[in-house]
Amino acid sequence: MSDLPNAANTGHRAHLNPADLARMLRYATDWLGVYREQVNALNVYPVPDGDTGTNMHLTMQSVRRELDTCDESSMPGVARAISYGALLGARGNSGVILSQLLKGFAEAIKDLKVVDAAALGRAFQAAQKTGYGAVMKPVEGTILTVARGVAEGAAQPGEHIEDVLENALFRGQELLDQTPEMLPALKQAGVIDSGGQGYLYIVQGMLAQLRGEALPPAPEITSYAQEQFENEEFGFCTEFLMSEATKPIEEIRELVTPFGDSLLVVGAEGYVKGHIHTNEPDQLLATVGRYGKMLKTKVEDMSEQHTEILGMAGATARAEEELAPTGLVAVASGYGLVKLFRGFGARIVSGGQTANPSVQDIVDAVRSVSAEKVIILPNNKNVLMAAEKAMELMEGRAVVIPTRTLGQGIGAALNFSPDVPAEELVEGMTEASRAVTTFEVTRASRTTNITVKDGRTLDIKEGDVIGLMDDELVQSGGSPEDSVLEMLNRHYQGQEIITVFGGPQHTQEDLDALAGRIGKEFSMAEVETHPGGPDLYDYLVTVE
């Protein structure tokens, strides 16, 4: 069903009911999606990593998912969907701040039956207040400045919802146009603030839905502001989502403050969301992980992100003769694994277990690679179908190697060479992927009993350690380290290399201790360890 109103209902509105508001925000998500790459192309502050539009859009998509399942006849239900969805889906500095703007907006409307013009104005003012309150050291010239402009405009007298949104956009645009004078980085690049522009597109989308306007075509991107900047060592953009926190948000914020800058720690309903730029992501996540249940982490090397966005900026401009024979796209999560795949020459699509990327995400990655043909490694059985659909859409420019685990993906990537035609690589990479055994240690999400392939019946309680071999359950119980050793003892077949990736809750000391235990029992194998394993897993172990 379309989120556009019928032509007969596009006149001035005096108030919005909960379903009206839900439709407006769904449409605003699509509106922002049209301009996502344009916002990315503006992104130079706080670092020129080129993902502000993507992060804000992902945050809004999470809001839309919650709106799709909430009770649209209830303003408290819609308000909770806005606030809760934004927090769970917040990505990046801009996404976390956006989540707080939406939280303030939702808090202001949650007890109302309908939202009239005055109430909508107050909601935008509450959004601005909550946004500023979430940032330890607010910087003008950013999304916060534009949110202030939107709030000032929305506070002007107006009888209709349309008046409020028009005034909000006018004043917000005035302050957005002034942002280059507030931030030297923006002035250097000759751009307005990307996060502020993204926020205005959301408000613009709300107004467009009210008026019944169709989505515009996506603008053509001809330049990226990131090209103005040198490729520097920016450090790691580190994020976490934690539940069941045993410390107040203020104490968690104090814990992570010494690790870096660009710090945001926010929360609601028992969840804590954190964002920080640091050079010690593994130590930071291990420190925070002691005080709750770590649900999701994301660590991006901002220097690598900068390099990738410059690659995307130049991809369309490269002459045909400059194309490499073959490119590589890999789906991965966990910063250690992402770094490894990037080292093999892969363009990364973020995702994996419980966070499957879309077909469009994979298509966009393939298109960004400057190569005659691109090999796609899905690295998860649940991503395989999306990868194959992306291959179809690329009409012969891509081929999928059906890797079902990250271990298989590593085996395939080890045999990748950009100078060799894809047709000559596929068979060898496929065989190499099948030669890798992958062990994963995670926790059971429910109580059950399962009979495994060798006839044993495992009685499993929710929260128990469980072990999987090549994505099939084979072990339960004990500590995560015991799980690794038990699986190796049952299934090790004399391979030469055992590689252990530690999850976000484990320190390098944990990895070293586990490597020592493995080395004693399997002295014939070389044992390697790396931090930055996938989210929700204690350990990922590959044997080859």
- Residues 483-519 pLDDT 10s: 999 999 999 999 999 999 998 778 888 999 999 999 9
Q: What pLDDT does 50 receive?
A: 59
Give the distance between the most distant pair of CA atoms in the chain.
79
> Which has more pLDDT, 47 or 544?
544
Average pLDDT, the chain: 87
Residues 81-90, mean pLDDT to the nearest whole number: 92
Q: What pLDDT does 4 receive?
A: 62
Q: What is the DSSP string of 95-152?
A: HHHHHHHHHHHHHHHTT-SSEEHHHHHHHHHHHHHHHHHH-SS--TTSHHHHHHHHHH
What's the pLDDT tens digit per position in 296-313? 777 776 666 555 555 554
Residues with Cβ within 8 Å of 359's Cβ and at least 6 positions away in sequence, in order, are 386, 389, 390, 393
CA distance 25 to 209: 9
Which residue, 251, 255, 252, 242, is CA-closest to 293?
Answer: 242
Enter the tokens of residue 492.
């090790």
Enter the tokens of residue 515.
């490597």
What's the pLDDT tens digit per position in 136-149? 888 899 999 999 99
Which residue, 94, 113, 78, is CA-closest to 42?
Answer: 94
Above 60 in pLDDT, residue 419?
yes
Q: 362-371, 436-445, 494-503: which has the minimum mean pLDDT?
A: 362-371
What residue ranges in 208-323 does DSSP mark as E strands?
236-243, 260-268, 271-278, 293-301
pLDDT band at 317; cut points 50, 70, 90: very low
Residue with tokens 């995560």: 480
pTM above 0.75, yes or no: no
Residue with tokens 């998500």: 29
